[in-house]
Amino acid sequence: MNLFETMTEHEHEQVAFCYDQASGLKAIIAIHDTTLGPSLGGVRMWPYESEEAALTDVLRLSKGMTYKNAAAGLNLGGGKAVIIGDPSIKSEALYRALGRFIQSLGGRYITAEDVNTTADDIMLIREETQFVSGMPEYVGGAGDPSPWTALGTLEGIRVTVAKRLGQHSLNGIRIAIQGLGSVGTALCELLHEEGAQLVVSDLQESRVQAMCENFGATAVSVDEIYGVETDVFVPCALGAVINDQTLTQFRCAAIAGAANNQLLDEHTHGPQLKARNILYAPDYIINAGGVINCYYEVIQENIPEIVTAKVKGIGDTLASIYDIAEKEDIPTHQAAARFAENRIKTIGKVRSNFLGHSQM
């Protein structure tokens, strides 16, 4: 990979490589765009097969955060951090070392929890920098963002079902959920309360069993979930689940889930979904509930009623994107990109008009 060519292609502003010999930290922080405000995005820990794989992931994720934050109407740019390593091997020193690197960026990047990191890990990072979000409620933070991500995803599923199936209730709707982590589990509970029929899969059998016992879900294997005949397929695990192999298996009317970067190749797989008449809810639109929660913590207005109203607004945003896609006859992921890019361009223009003018 030619780093600077790749950064130019995707318009990244900065990439920081972080190494600390004492703690064993190997991390990459990518800042994609700060037009709307400081970049915010979580830190994930993953045993990447190579440093190039980690770099590819963080560049892709940080760009996604720019679009997510912009489309959600937040005054934030997009960033992300990845730690290369075994998630089962963590230490105070490792996260505090990362905190020092984040602090050195002077507020251009604000971190939060993500895959294989927790609120406790964020507290360790906070020992070295104030540029964190998603802290536990007992220290005045907004707490676990997962329930908010689940709530926003529920609203997105509701709008998607109405658009694709013409039904304004989720009662009796058959929904296949892939991945039963914090978000997937919370979403199962919400969907069960709405009367949806659940089909679930996860690598951890105990999670699957719990959903079957608590919510009457039907269990299938991790390989079978793609081919389940269902109304909505809901990916809530890792990304790239929409690819050449899975596209031919899908037997659903829509895909609307919380996983990031669901399209392996948006230029290929987005149009293919449209051609197969599968309505796709762009991931960074429908899964923005967690970052909305984090944003209100950052601006110190994490009032539940305000956050709830903003998260429920995800449904209205998604409906607007579906209208754009239908009117212009383009895939929904392209409509979402135009929606986000328009806000970045507009607000960027507003701000640039006042550069060099003193404030009265």
Contact 323, 355 (CB under 8 A): no
Look at residue 65 in the predicted model and tell me its pLDDT: 95
Contact 250, 275 (CB under 8 A): no
146-288 CATH fold: Rossmann fold (3.40.50)
CATH 3.40.50.10860 segments of the chain: 3-67+77-133
Contact 98, 125 (CB under 8 A): yes
Contact 128, 96 (CB under 8 A): yes
3.30.428.10, 3.40.50.2000, 1.10.3720.10, 3.40.50.10860: CATH of 3-67+77-133: 3.40.50.10860
CATH 3.40.50.720 segments of the chain: 146-288
> Which active-site residues does the annotation give?
80
Distance, in Å, from the CA atom of 76 to the CA atom of 68, rounded to the nearest integer, reads 9
Reported pTM: 0.89
Query: For 301-347, what is each residue's pLDDT tens digit?
Result: 878 899 999 999 999 999 999 999 999 999 999 999 999 999 999 99
Query: For 51-88, what is each residue's pLDDT tens digit?
Result: 999 999 999 899 999 999 999 999 999 999 999 999 99
How does residue 353 score in pLDDT terms, banded at 50, 70 and 90? confident
Structure tokens at 63: 């760009």
> What CA–CA distances, in Å, run from 95 to 115, 139, 140?
15, 18, 21
**Can you tell me the mean pLDDT for 8-37?**
94
Dihedrals phi, psi of 84, to nearest 5 degrees:
-90, 115
Distance, in Å, from the CA atom of 186 to the CA atom of 180, rounded to the nearest integer, reads 8
